[in-house]
Structure formats: structure tokens, C-alpha cells
Amino acid sequence: MRVRRVPFTVALALTAGLALTACDDGDKGPDAAPAATAPGPAGAATPTGTAPTVPGSATPKASGSAAVPAGTRCTAADLEMSVLGPDLIADDKQPAYASLHVVNTSTRTCTLTGFPGIQVSDDAGRSATPLTADRNTGFPATAVTLKPKQIANANLQYSNVNAGGSPSGRRVCAVTGGKVQVILPDETQAKQVKVTGGVDDNTLNVCGKLSVQPFQGVPGANG
């Protein structure tokens, strides 16, 4: 039998091609399809940045926009923050509204885009698990540009009245907190903010679901 020899130059080219294929399989380039990731918990939204765990609690999550350059984003150092308690007690048709209120106390103009991470812990120890606000996506997350001394709000919606119980106990909710953990959009560090004013005496008296809206400018206040 005659064995046909492959020229040395051809064999060398085939060997180089196989080596290149192996490298491509192990080291995907920028055009390669991304690897699949495991899905998160049902109903959970994915934040732009992952916030560290607050000691002894779950992690509040914030979301922002990568389109906002890092140098122009509002940080906790730029803003004075407070949580304003609700003016009215909820009823069957109207929820209670509190507000995360921020003022740009820096000397520069900065931008907020998206939802803050909000978490309320119970001061009275009735709940062992802090309550994290869900994002209310029915409101647009638009960029809010704040010049020095300008303000923005992110509204919190919930009920502060129990559905049952005696009249004297109808406002005793599972979570009643005088302090809130807040993470600004595109930030990773939580800041503790006091609740001030409102019908619930400087607390958030939360019965049931708590949701947060994205930051919005305040019409007429930033002219």
C-alpha cells in the first residue's frame, strides 16, 4: 500500500489552526455571546450596583443609570437627606405617603436617576427582619439634575393602618421605624436617615407592602 505523505508546511498550518480554535473556545472575545446567568428570586429587580449588607439585616437595593457619568452623579456627600412622615392616615382608598427628601448641599451640579434602596427596621423589635421597599415601576425613572440648594423627592407608598383589630390597635403595624437605611442610585453604601414629622410621630408605621418611586424633581421648587 502506498501512503501519501502530507507536506510539512500543510501539517504545520493545520496544527496552528487547531491551536487557535482551542484558544477561542477558552477565551471568548468581545463579540462572543455572554454566559447564561442564574435567575434571581421571583419578582426581584436587578440593581445597577450591589449594595453591602447592612449588619444584622437584609440588603436594600438601588438602581441607577450607567448613562450618567460618574463625575456628575449625586453622592451621599452631595446631599442632605431626610425622610418626611405621612401627612394623612391611610384609608381603604388612599394609601399613606412618606417621602425621601434630598437637598443638594454641595457647590456642584449633580444628577440623580432611578430608585433609591430603602429599608426600614422596627424600633420596637416586633419584626426580626427589616422591610425592603419594592420599586414602583409605574413611574418613569428620569434624570433629575440638581443645582446647589435644589431638591428632589422619592415617594414611599404603604398603609399605616391595620385591616383588623380593635380601634386602639389598628395603627400598630408589624414594622414601626424611626430610622431608614438609604442607598442612592449608582451608590453602594447605605446611609441611615431619620424620619421626621408626620401623623405617626417621627416614624414609618408600615402595615403590609412598602414601595418606593424613582426620584423626581419638585415642580416650582427648583426654578
pLDDT by 10-residue block (mean), the chain, 223 residues: 44 40 40 42 39 46 66 93 96 94 97 96 89 94 95 97 86 93 94 96 94 90 69
Torsion over CA: 204, 208, 209, 213 (sign): negative
- Angle (nearest 5°) at CA 40 between 37 and 46: 90
CATH 3.10.450 fits 70-217, yes or no: no
pLDDT at 58: 52
Question: For the chain, what are the domain ranges?
Answer: 70-217
Q: How far is CA 207 from the centre of its chain?
A: 21
3-state secondary structure of 151: strand
CA-to-CA dists, residue 89 to 54, 97, 99, 118, angstroms = 30, 9, 14, 21
pTM to 2 decimal places: 0.69
pLDDT at position 68: 65
* Phi/psi of residue 128, nearest 5 degrees: -80, -15
